[in-house]
Amino acid sequence: MKRLLIICILFMSCQKDWLDRKPRTIISDEQVWNDPKQIVALLANFYDRLPTETGLVDVSDAADGRLAQWRNMANYDDAMWSGQSNEDGRNNITSYNYNSWYLWNYTLIRDINLSLENIELYGKDLTAAQKQQFSAELRFVRAFNYFELVKRMGGVPLVTKQLVYDYSGNVTDLQQPRAKESEVYDFIASEVDAIKDNLGNDGSVSRANKYTALALKSRAMLYAGSIAKYNNLMAAPITTPGGEVGIPASMANGYYQKALDASREIINSGVYSLYKNNPDPGENFFETIAKKASNKEVIFVKDYLLPTRKHWFSYDNIARGIREDNLGSSSVVPSLNLVESYEYLDGTNGTLKIRTADNSDFIYYDNVADIFANKDARLYGTVIYPGTTFKGLQVSIQAGVMAWNSSRNAYDVVEGSDLGTTYTDGKLLTGTSGPHRSIQEVSNTGFYLKKYIDPNDKTSTRGIQSDMWWIWFRLGEIYLNAGEAAFELGQTGDALTYINALRERAGFGVNSLTILTIDRIRNERRVELAFEDQRLWDLKRWRMADKVWNGNASGADAMVYALYPYRVVRPGDAAHDGKYVFVKMVAPRFRAPRFFQLGNYYTSIDQSVLNNNPKIVKNPFQ
Amino acid sequence: MMKYILLIAILIAGCKKDNYEKPTSVLTGRVVYNKEALGLRSNGVQLELWQHGFELFTKIPVYVAQDGTFSASLFDGTYKLVLRQGNGPWKNNTDSLDVTVQGTTNVDVTVQPYFILKNTTFTKNTTNITAVVTVESVNTGLPLESVSLYVGNTDIVDQVNNAGSVTVVPDISAPVTLSVTSSAPFARVGVKTAGVAELVYSQVEKLQ
């Protein structure tokens, strides 16, 4: 009887919907697309997946499309590798591979397209305003990603809807051909125009607002304009018959005008202003990047936040002598090439004065920092050079001593076998920060990186790490975009206003330039935006990369140069003893000249992509 | 001890079953114009071999040595040999060359360069190396960019590997003379066509 009762109870409890239970481990579409918090979480994922060539972290997830490799800062001519010797290949890139900078992250595009469609399909509880804002933000991320694609690959398939296979055995309608290069840029411009007023997020620097979108447009249109202009000025323009690569020269002015208009809208909005909170122009320029509080210059960043959202960039790149950990430091070090591109404040060429005019002797300096006197203050904000401090600590940079040998009437060069060594006269031989010709994790060039190094205590330790942010867009770049676009359009007066505003902040006088050339603008971009992932793309769009990085070992730009300071030991000669002299040389650990070939202007498309989609045409030189 | 012998036995046995034989056939050849091998940059110019009929369809890159020769170890079979587009200092040609590899196979690939170098002579004195060369335009379509003299300390000499160079933009109606201050033992001349990354070189010469 008892058993019967149990069976009865069991049967009764089996109600109709006993098998219809909500899963506890799966979130349904209805739940996701009606919950603003979950959509924001998803957006955070999409923002995080935007690729960059350098950045401050080291992620490479091909399936997800996430790309960021700070070490790539050492692959060009602004810097070299001085860290662990197992990465010395970066100093020995005999030529850039044709598949360098490859990106084909349609996984992200698909996820965004899916989100756009599902918000419309399922998002019944969202207000119209919420839907509009989320959709606008998703489209911004997609446009940003298409810009990353087009600047690497040329025209790519413009996929704006989910591609869903219908199991018919026929996939041809899923195979989309490449759009023209100009069509991708036009798409970016039209997307920005369509969404900029719906983005909201006023005042945010980590989520896109109206001005973030305009900044994207400003940069993208400038790229398109210069590709249209300079590609066609090449002896043999790089094009494909279908226009997947190459933009007609007639479109250049239209793009430059759009770049100028977008830049002006940001500058004239008054929402942003150039950072001028510190009266010292060098410190001020460093803070432009490093200060998160009351920084009105920054437009869009990838932010980090201690104690959990952090990165190793300061651990890996802080100057050796002031590192707070017992390992790491000094990985990416700026080159003399970059240092010399910073002009003197009187507007003269930035080449350092090392030898007398007739090249018969060194120039002797009382202090090791004197050779850098009266330089563009952006040098101080970007590079740690001999005789400067960081975090309040002196960075001791000295390669060795020049000891006068009276028997042969010349100097003997003496360098320490280790750092922080003392010469026989009881004074410094080799500084605690080198430079040293062979020791790893010591600068090989005589300079250290300052931009993006965290100035806060203990941030270069493995235990704490840094939360310095990575800058996607800042107003300084917008000024340069506006200046270049105005110059290309023949509006030199306006161009001068924009360029001079940046130079004035860097310590130059008011209206320091009266004559503008394209070379001057290009140099301004190099010095203002160093290490912000701009120079590679700039040289590509100006079609200068194959001229600058020409693979010639005796060339001026393809090799990375170093500057080694020495203390003079010449007792009894007060004019020379105790002074400092400098020697310029190819950095000892640097091996092969940078060699950018014509086939590098457009990254070759992976064979698996070509095999899967016969409508995709190859890039030239592939 | 027995355990190790067993392990080794298994490893050896395992190697037999599931590994391919390494390719034994060799394809060799030259890149020629007018039956003369072209001088090229070491590690620069690439030919592509493709083989249809297998699941993995991807190119086998074949680098051409600086004297214009190439070789590849392959399995016997039928391949298509093509020029890598825009890579070499010659006119693009998308036609493929059918190559049947059977043991040692030799094939010459004929290309159409824009410029070739003829009658290169080098002279060396105590301070300078001087080259005199005739540049001949054999295909029109792209203009001449420059002619360069490269000298080197090893017998690999080119645009990238050199110990000194001089580049001029010459009038090629007469022989071109280039001179560089150097005492390096090897030298060669290269001609650059505008819009083409690679140069056509003379063969490397050891200077006395």
Out of A554, A598, A608, closest to residue B165 by CB = A554
Alpha carbon distance A446, A372 (integer Å): 13
Question: Given an 8 Å threshold on Cβ–Cβ distance, is B195 in contact with A236?
Answer: yes
Return the H-helix or E-strand segment holding A281.
helix A281-290
ipTM of the complex in this document: 0.71
Residue A9 has pLDDT above 70, yes or no: no
B57: chain A residues, CB-CB within 8 Å: 607, 611
Write down the pLDDT at residue B56: 84
Structural tokens at position A52: 């960059």
- CA-wise closest residue to A95 among A428, A591, A482: A591
Residue B16 has pLDDT above 70, yes or no: no
> CB-hemisphere CA count at 13 Å for A413?
9
> What's the length of chain A?
622
Q: Which CATH fold topology does B115-206 show?
A: Immunoglobulin-like (2.60.40)
A92-125: string of b/e by CB count within 10 Å (b at 16+)?
ebbbbebebbbbbbbebbebbbebbebbeebbee
Closest C-alpha to A551, from A506, A593, A580, A608? A593
- Please list every residue in chain B whose beta carbon sits closer than 8 Å to the beta carbon of residue A99: none
Note whether A621 and A98 are within 8 A (CB): yes
Nearest Cα residue in chain A from B59: A607
**Chain A contact probe: residue of B63, B159, B169, B198 with most A CBs at under 10 A:** B159
d(CA A167, CA A171): 9
Q: State whether B197 and A599 contact (CB < 8 Å).
A: yes
> What's the confidence (pLDDT) of residue A179?
97
What is the reported pLDDT for B160? 82
What pLDDT, on the 0 to 100 scale, is given for residue A440? Answer: 93
Once rounded to an integer, what is the mean pLDDT over residues A234-254?
Answer: 94
Angle at A622 between CA A90 and CA A553, to 5 degrees: 35
Q: Compute and round to an integer the Cα radius of gyration of chain A.
A: 28
pLDDT greater than 80 at residue A285: yes
**A189 close to A214: Cβ distance less than 8 angstroms:** no
Residue A371: both structure tokens together: 């050779």
pLDDT score recorded for residue B11: 58
Contacts of A546 in chain B (CB under 8 A): 197
pLDDT reported for residue B208 = 78
Which strand (E) or helix (H) includes residue B150?
strand B144-152
Residue A16 reports pLDDT greater than 80 = no
What value does the mean pLDDT take over residues B10-24? 67
Which amino acid, one-letter code, is at B204? V
Which of A95, A593, A620 is closest, CB to CB, to B85?
A620
* Mean pLDDT value across residues A397-416: 94
d(CA A599, CA B153): 29
- Report the pLDDT averaged over residues A541-567: 91
The alpha-helical segments, DSSP class H, found in A123-236 are 128-153, 181-195, 210-231
Provide mean pLDDT across the span B170-198: 88
Distance separating alpha carbons of residues A318 and A454, to the nearest angstrom: 9
- Interface probe for B, chosen from A93, A94, A231 (most Cβ of B below 10 Å), is A94
Residue in B46, B85, B181 to test binding to A, most A beta-carbons within 10 Å: B85
Q: What CATH code is assigned to B21-110?
A: 2.60.40.1120
Residues in B touching A552 (Cβ below 8 Å):
159-160, 162, 165
pLDDT of A10 over the 60 cut: no
Distance between CA A273 and CA A154 in Å, rounded?
34
The Cα-based distances of A180 to A142, A158, A242, B77 in angstroms read 18, 9, 7, 39
Contact A236 B84 (CB under 8 A): no
User: Which residue from B minimizes the CA distance to A96?
Assistant: B44
CA distance B145 to B123: 25
Find the angle CA(A27)-CA(A30)-CA(A31) to the nearest 5 degrees. Answer: 45
**Cβ separation of A607 and B164 shorter than 8 Å?**
no
CB atoms B159 and A552 under 8 Å: yes
Residue A452 has pLDDT above 70, yes or no: yes
Looking at residue B173, its pLDDT comes to 85
pLDDT value, residue A6: 57
| Whether A313 contacts A56, CB under 8 Å | yes
What is the rounded CA–CA span in Å between residue A286 and residue A289? 6
φ and ψ at A178, to 5 degrees? -70, 140
Q: What is the pLDDT of residues A125-145, one digit of tens each?
A: 999 999 999 999 999 999 999
Query: Are A234 and B195 within 8 A, CB to CB?
Result: yes
Q: Looking at beta carbons, which residues of chain B come within 8 Å of A235?
A: 142-143, 145, 194-195
User: Cβ of A546 and B165 within 8 Å?
Assistant: no
Of A148, A294, A315, the residue nearest A220 (C-alpha): A148
pLDDT (tens digit, 9 = 90+) per residue, B100-141?
999 899 999 999 999 999 999 999 888 899 999 999 999 888
Q: Report whether pLDDT(A605) > 80.
A: yes
Q: Span B9-30, mean pLDDT?
A: 73
- pLDDT for the residue B2: 64
DSSP H or E segment with residue A36: helix A36-48
Q: Residue A71 class from Cβ within 10 Å (0-12 exposed, 13-18 middle, 19+ buried)?
A: middle
Set of chain B residues whose Cβ sits within 8 Å of the Cβ of A602: none
Of the pLDDT bands very low, low, confident and very high (cuts 50, 70, 90), residue B14 is low
User: Is the pLDDT confidence value at A462 over 70?
Assistant: yes
The residue of chain A nearest to residue B142, with distances taken between CA atoms, is A236
Note the pLDDT of residue B13: 56
If you ran DSSP here, which 8-state letter would residue B38 be given? P
| pLDDT of residue A62 exceeding 80 | no
DSSP bridge partners of B165? B150
Domains B21-110 and B115-206 share a fold: yes
Please report the pLDDT score of residue A3 as a whole number: 62
Q: Output the average pLDDT for chain A.
A: 93
Rounded to a whole number of angstroms, the distance from the CA of A599 to the nearest CA of chain B is: 8
Spatial CA neighbour of A561 closest among A266, A318, A337:
A337
pLDDT for the residue A324: 95
**What are the structure tokens assigned to A321, written together?**
């002598």
**Which chain A residues are closer than 8 Å to B161 by Cβ?**
553
pLDDT surpasses 60 at A8: no
The verdict on a CB contact (< 8 Å) between A546 and B164 is: no
Amino acid at A242: G
Q: Which residues of A211-236 are buried (b: 16+ CB within 10 A; e: fewer)?
A: bbbbbbbbbbbbbbbbbbbbbbebeb
Note the pLDDT tens digit of each residue in B70-82: 999 999 999 999 9
Query: What is the structure's pLDDT at B196?
Result: 83
Q: Between chains, do A235 and B85 touch, taking CB under 8 Å as contact?
A: no
Q: What is the mean pLDDT of residues A436-447?
A: 95
Write out the two tokens for B108: 């010459």
> Which residue, chain included where needed, has tokens 């001026």?
A556
| Residue A270 pLDDT greater than 60, yes or no | yes
**Structural domain boundaries in chain B:** 21-110, 115-206
Phi, psi of B10 (to 5 degrees): -65, -45
pLDDT at A421 over 80: yes
Does B194 contact A235 at a Cβ distance shorter than 8 Å? yes
Mean pLDDT of A180-207: 96
Q: Report whether A177 contacts A616 (CB < 8 A).
A: yes
- pLDDT tens per residue across span A378-398: 999 999 999 999 999 999 999
Residues from B contacting A (CB-CB < 8 Å) are 43-44, 57-59, 84-87, 142-143, 145, 159-165, 194-197
Q: Do A597 and B197 touch (CB under 8 A)?
A: yes
